């Protein structure tokens, strides 16, 4: 935990956009997002939460509603 916004700004200078892109699922490709669910679906998670970190939250909601979640829901539940 960082004690102040100034400390957060200093720490964020050490992280590049490329580093963030390699650590989290991002971008407009629905298959990339769908594939990010695989490890969780295989281990019987009951709930998975996703969140948007950028300014394009409407686009994310549309992408998930029309292309990502329908595919994730097609994965058979483990017995």
Does any domain span residue 79? Answer: no
Q: How confident is the prediction along the chain (79 residues), in pLDDT tens digits per residue?
A: 889 999 999 999 999 989 988 999 988 999 999 999 999 988 878 888 999 988 999 999 999 999 999 999 887 765 5
Are the C-beta atoms of residues 53 and 24 closer than 8 Å to each other? yes
Does any domain span residue 78? Answer: no
The alpha carbon of residue 34 and the mean position of all alpha carbons in its chain are separated, in whole angstroms, by 10
Structurally, how many domains does the chain consist of?
1
Predicted model pTM: 0.74
Does any domain span residue 47? Answer: yes
Structural domain including 38 reads: 5-73
The three-point CA angle 19-59-28 to 5° equals 45
Cα distances from 50 to residues 4, 11, 32, 68, in angstroms, run: 26, 24, 14, 12
């Amino acid at each position: 935990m960082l004690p102040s916004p100034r400390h957060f700004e200093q720490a964020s200078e050490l992280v590049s956009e490329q580093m963030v892109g390699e650590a989290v699922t991002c971008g407009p490709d629905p298959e990339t997002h769908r594939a990010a669910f695989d490890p969780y679906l295989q281990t019987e998670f009951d709930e998975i939460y996703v969140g948007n970190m950028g300014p394009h939250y409407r686009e994310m909601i549309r992408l998930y509603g029309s292309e990502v979640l329908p595919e994730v829901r097609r994965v058979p539940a483990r017995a």
